[in-house]
Structure 1
Amino acid sequence: MTKTNHATGQKTDDNANWWRGAVIYQVYPRSFQDSNGDGIGDIKGITSRLPYIASLGVDAIWLAPFFTSPMADMGYDVSDYCDVDPMFGTLHDFDIMMAKAHELGLKVIIDQVISHSSDQHPWFKQSRSSRDNEKADWYVWADAKPDGTAPNNWMSIFGGPGWEWDGVRKQYYMHNFLASQPDLNFHNPQVQQAVLDAARFWLERGVDGFRLDTVNYYFHDHLLRDNPPHTADSNEAGLDAPDVNPYGMQRHLYDKTQPENVGFLHKLRSVLDEYGGRTTVGEVGDGARSLQTVAAYTNGGDKLHMCYTFDLLGPEFSAAHIRNCVTSFQAKVLDGWVCWAFSNHDVIRHVSRFAPTPQDRVAIAKLAITVLASLRGSVCLYQGEELGLPEAELAFEDLRDPYGIRFWPAFKGRDGCRTPMVWEGHAAHAGFSDGTPWLPVPAEHQALSVDVQDGDANSVLAHYRAVLAWRKAHPEMIDGDMSFIDLNEDVLAFVREKDGKKLLFVINLALKPNQVILPLQLEIKAVLPLPGMRATMASGVVHLAALDGFCARL
């Protein structure tokens, strides 16, 4: 079925479900490929590497922000929502990249960072100029308390109060992140319309969807009530430093996740539905309420298409934890959809989180993608994880991440997962750039470069390609139902089913061998060779090596 884009007259493919079970590859533009020798990745560089991404067998790419920005928070502080920062190239470069991606069969998802802007955005410059200009109410302004302190106790995720005094307006403005990232006032309908217009701008250029940064942060409590204290450890920010960041000491009842957000998501979905075949994936960082929020934002088929949480982005890699995350999602999010990930640009790379020793990293990397590709939901991969890259160890003087600089040395920040992609094992800077990279390239990473692994059938890269091809060949794995089987605590056992066809998975996440007696009611039709796994079955007993998996058709 097709729909007509009534703005351009263009016919668009209305495959509303392409995203359901899709594998999405996240590209961090600053660190992917530099084309001009300035040490910073760019859009032309991404275009040159699209054939590599397509060779992995993924369905789409997600580009982190490339918009015009002062780069105080690496592009998550946008000063023009409808242009490309010169650091990354031009709109023409973007259009060429889009055409090449589509030619290769890749969908393109781009970030939308609309909960806040840069303080250099023209909207904010006008808003702060007076209390009665046309955009005076486009940001969250409030008077000081009689003693001059901030309007309430809200905190910034990046440390300290969530309010900044402005001497021109003689008021405070709210910022959930850096003081140079003022929050937009979504209670103002004009603000909602402006960000929807920005979304249309990119839809007109053919983008296939949006990843929505901090999607539950759009609205604040208009009464500006204080948040109550949190009574237990909670990673409310979705970052890796809950115990050093006072943000986690509050229950964030009033500075985010307000009920009005649902109404705006209806409006956003209506815009996307006009174009056909587009999708949204929302980032939800809401502590213990995350799944409840995901349900509210995805159930009903009239808001977001899917969301991801930080449930699998923490330190635990166990059968019990993964099962709990999946069953909790299934119980609370009835007809919504999830996008699972083990790594992204905000957290320590998962082989470093999950592997007890460096010697375990290759096996952990291989098993992790086997697990991820087997879960019900869409999958998001982060550049370099297909090479088994560990977290980079950086010196303080090398850091660029304001979050890491703020909390050093208790927390080293996010630069360790943002170092340049490694392409060539013997080239300067691993083939990322002819200049000095914005972050150093670790020698440990260079030894794991694409060209080093490309011809090795036993490499992590080869395993990723094999697993993703295997997933694509079995429709049950893409969007089939999922039900768990009780075996033992070290083993993740479940059935994926679609159209009467059933696949049994038994995965040993322990660092020691395991034997599992299958329940008698399971009738094995055939044992299937699961890529890279060594498990065998004899007389109803599955023999699993450490970090091993088994698959059979029922």
Structure 2
Amino acid sequence: MQTQTATTLAKDPDWWRGAVIYQIYPRSYQDSNGDGVGDLAGIVERLPHIAGLGADAIWISPFFTSPMKDFGYDVSDYCDVDPMFGTLADFDAVVARAHGLGLRVMIDLVLSHTSDQHPWFKESRANRTNPKADWFVWADPKGDGTPPNNWLSIFGGSAWQWDGRREQYYLHNFLTSQPDLNFHCDAVQEALLDAVRFWLERGVDGFRLDTINFYIADKYLRDNPPLPKELRNDSIAPGVNPYNHQLHIFDKNQPENLEFLKKFRAICNPYGAAAVGEVGDAQRGLEIMAEYTSGGDKVQMCYPFEMLQPKRLTAALLADTFARMAKAAPDAWPCWAYSNHDTVRHITRWGLSDAAARAYTTMLVCLRGSLCLYQGEELGLPEADIAFEDLQDPYGIEFWPEFKGRDGCRTPMVWQTDNASGGFSTAKPWLPVTAAHLGLSVAAQDGDASSMLAHYRAALAFRRAHATLRYGSMEGIAATGDLAQFLRVGDETIFCAFNLGDAEAEVVLPGGSWAALGTDLGSQPVGAGTITLGPWQVCLAKKI
């Protein structure tokens, strides 16, 4: 498949708009040195697969120096590579190879918190008078010694951890070993922006900003109010985590965050770099996305959770999502995803058949916004079933057995069928490779025109062939039962209809003449008037 050239990369400052971004979880993509853990050199080896898929960019989950309590999302040095993954020279090789294949490179920046092993935190916790004493969120206990407020950690329990050296609590929205930085301190913001500059100078094309709405907490540390039971929701572990019992209006989503994002954008602009922010909020995700991406002076895209929920994406939910987004800000720019490293793979989460999975893939490439694909998604991988004794994820260990953690979506990529590790490693992988995945390997599907891999390649090629799908508006979205339909309007007008159910659905074409598109994606023939779509069938047509 023909890919973009490096020359094209240098000339398109809006490359991110409508782009397809392929997420790499580096521990599990390819092991190049036989230690059972994926690394940067392994990514270099496998980049042609991503270019051949038709993606525009890669997003690499954290590879920075880290004690790995949360597998790299606990950073102890923002400007170096953990030896587990290689060296800075290996990273430079990733950038060079990716650019040579026409792929942009985005990296995952975790700015809301560090590891407790970061030199900044070690200095901060030493006493209350050192130069970095206020670089993290410290607070005195209440008179009875309890934490300063009722904030909860996503990983369970209080969001406050007592430190005997300072005789104060520090804030941690995640693990106790992940203390939150104090963004009310200007020096903290400058230090983080220096890290951004470091990676821009190394040639990265953009960033995925982890937990973007967690950067700043209420400086008065006010209690969160309770959340009514009927509104509780969580894309990771519904029902098992008391974190969902609060309305999180003070521990995140603070208005001061917008000013930091403007500083961040000002640094990125001269490099033509783009950013996608992960909005972790089950109640106001779309509205926050609108705040963060509108106006052209903050981040370009945000990564909301509406399509990462346990509840299957229905036609009605799709229509409601786009209606809410349009109401919040017409120029908001989402980056949609069905799966990632934190959620049960959508094939399993939504209980999809092969036909259903293909219909959802085709619909994804027709949506307004940019897209993220998670490694292995293009193979149709289901969630892996991991035994408790094999679990690595602290979140899964904490909430077992009601929630089995995130390891089931983080197992190694399968490249070969006739290999116990799926061609991922010559050693025992850090997580087991399930037998169910081996038969779905790249080798097993490559060259098979009827495979899921072939479908993804065709879907991405279809999106790239029609600029309207990347840049055009999305109009007339409607849901009738299981039928979702809308128009994409730009240089051409494309009608899109998707039967997201197991019964037939009747589609009435808009007025005018239409020609069928996407027949290799299973799109049905068009004529005048009404079309009958069978279960999980789609209709794509161009106005002529």
TM-score by length of 1: 0.94
1:144-183 alignment runs, 5 A limit: 144-183=141-180
Match for 1:82 among 74, 79, 82? 79
1:304-343 alignment runs, 5 A limit: 304-314=299-309, 315-343=311-339
> Which residue of 2 is the match for residue 240 of structure 1?
236
Matching residue's letter, 1:174 = L
Matching residue's letter, 1:548 = Q
> Which residue of 1 is the match for residue 506 of structure 2?
515
1:458-473 alignment runs, 5 A limit: 458-473=450-465
Distance in 2 of aligned mates of 1:156 and 1:442? 32
Alpha-carbon spacing, 1:513–1:162, altered in 2? closer, same or farther (3 Å): same
The DSSP-based 3-state class of the residue aligned with 2:474 is: strand
> Which residue of 1 is the match for residue 250 of structure 2?
254
Q: Is the 8 A contact 1:291 1:333 kept in 2?
A: no
Distance in 2 of aligned mates of 1:471 and 1:419? 29
> Which residue of 2 is the match for residue 280 of structure 1?
275
Matching residue's letter, 1:453 = Q
Whether 2:543 is the aligned partner of 1:551: answer: no
> Which residue of 1 is the match for residue 294 of structure 2?
299
Question: Alpha-carbon deviation of 1:287?
Answer: 2.3
1:106-145 alignment runs, 5 A limit: 106-145=103-142
For residues 443-498 of structure 1, give each alpha carbon's deviation from its aligned partner in whole angstroms, at most 9, with x where no partner exists: 00011000000021000000000111111111111111111254622111111010
Match for 2:488 among 469, 474, 496? 496
Question: Alpha-carbon deviation of 1:253?
Answer: 1.0
The DSSP-based 3-state class of the residue aligned with 2:229 is: coil
> Which residue of 2 is the match for residue 478 of structure 1?
470
Q: Is the 8 A contact 2:315 2:479 kept in 1?
A: no
Match for 2:496 among 505, 528, 533? 505
Match for 1:457 among 425, 449, 457? 449
> Which residue of 2 is the match for residue 5 of structure 1?
none
Distance in 2 of aligned mates of 1:85 and 1:239? 29
Distance in 2 of aligned mates of 1:259 and 1:14? 34
Distance in 2 of aligned mates of 1:109 and 1:52? 17
For residues 304-332 of structure 1, give each alpha carbon's deviation from its aligned partner in whole angstroms, at most 9, with x where no partner exists: 10101110111212111112112221221
Distance in 1 of aligned mates of 2:464 and 2:521? 16
Matching residue's letter, 2:508 = I
Whether 2:512 is the aligned partner of 1:536: answer: no
Question: Alpha-carbon deviation of 1:240?
Answer: 1.8
> Which residue of 2 is the match for residue 435 of structure 1?
427
Query: Among the aligned pairs, what percent are the same residue?
Result: 57
Question: Alpha-carbon deviation of 1:534?
Answer: 4.9
Alpha-carbon spacing, 1:302–1:392, altered in 2? closer, same or farther (3 Å): same
1:203-218 alignment runs, 5 A limit: 203-218=200-215
Whether 2:24 is the aligned partner of 1:33: answer: no
The DSSP-based 3-state class of the residue aligned with 2:196 is: helix
Alpha-carbon spacing, 1:178–1:393, altered in 2? closer, same or farther (3 Å): same
> Which residue of 2 is the match for residue 8 of structure 1?
none
The DSSP-based 3-state class of the residue aligned with 2:106 is: strand
Q: Is the 8 A contact 1:367 1:548 kept in 2?
A: yes
Question: Alpha-carbon deviation of 1:272?
Answer: 0.4
The DSSP-based 3-state class of the residue aligned with 2:284 is: helix
> Which residue of 2 is the match for residue 290 of structure 1?
285
Distance in 2 of aligned mates of 1:71 and 1:80? 12
The DSSP-based 3-state class of the residue aligned with 2:480 is: coil
Question: Alpha-carbon deviation of 1:517?
Answer: 3.1
> Which residue of 1 is the match for residue 372 of structure 2?
380
Q: Is the 8 A contact 2:336 2:371 kept in 1?
A: yes
Question: Alpha-carbon deviation of 1:530?
Answer: 3.5
Question: Alpha-carbon deviation of 1:234?
Answer: 4.5
Match for 1:401 among 383, 389, 393? 393
Q: How many pairs are equivalent?
A: 534
Distance in 2 of aligned mates of 1:343 and 1:487? 23
Question: Alpha-carbon deviation of 1:243?
Answer: 0.9
Q: Is the 8 A contact 2:474 2:488 kept in 1?
A: yes
Distance in 2 of aligned mates of 1:301 and 1:249? 35
Match for 2:194 among 187, 192, 197? 197
Mean alpha-carbon deviation: is it higher for 130-139 or for 285-294? 285-294
1:11-50 alignment runs, 5 A limit: 13=10, 15-50=12-47
Question: Alpha-carbon deviation of 1:539?
Answer: 4.1
> Which residue of 1 is the match for residue 185 of structure 2?
188
Distance in 1 of aligned mates of 2:318 and 2:287? 18
Question: Alpha-carbon deviation of 1:303?
Answer: 0.4
The DSSP-based 3-state class of the residue aligned with 2:194 is: helix
> Which residue of 2 is the match for residue 426 of structure 1?
418
Whether 2:256 is the aligned partner of 1:265: answer: no
Question: Alpha-carbon deviation of 1:526?
Answer: 1.5
> Which residue of 1 is the match for residue 5 of structure 2?
none
Matching residue's letter, 2:163 = D
Matching residue's letter, 2:325 = F
Matching residue's letter, 2:300 = H
Q: Is the 8 A contact 1:233 1:248 kept in 2?
A: no
The DSSP-based 3-state class of the residue aligned with 1:431 is: coil
The DSSP-based 3-state class of the residue aligned with 2:531 is: strand
Match for 1:524 among 513, 527, 530? 513
Superposition RMSD on alpha carbons, in Å? 1.3
Matching residue's letter, 1:510 = G
Matching residue's letter, 1:305 = Q
Distance in 2 of aligned mates of 1:538 and 1:176? 55
Q: Is the 8 A contact 1:70 1:120 kept in 2?
A: yes
1:54-73 alignment runs, 5 A limit: 54-73=51-70
Q: Is the 8 A contact 2:155 2:174 kept in 1?
A: yes
Q: Is the 8 A contact 1:294 1:333 kept in 2?
A: no
> Which residue of 1 is the match for residue 102 of structure 2?
105
Q: Is the 8 A contact 1:164 1:172 kept in 2?
A: yes
Alpha-carbon spacing, 1:169–1:328, altered in 2? closer, same or farther (3 Å): same
Question: Alpha-carbon deviation of 1:159?
Answer: 0.1
Alpha-carbon spacing, 1:281–1:81, altered in 2? closer, same or farther (3 Å): same
Distance in 2 of aligned mates of 1:365 and 1:488? 20
- Structure 2, unmatched stretches of 5+, are 1-8
Q: Is the 8 A contact 1:101 1:107 kept in 2?
A: yes
Distance in 2 of aligned mates of 1:539 and 1:24? 37
> Which residue of 2 is the match for residue 446 of structure 1?
438
Question: Alpha-carbon deviation of 1:511?
Answer: 1.5
Matching residue's letter, 1:209 = G
Question: Alpha-carbon deviation of 1:16?
Answer: 2.4
Distance in 2 of aligned mates of 1:433 and 1:487? 46
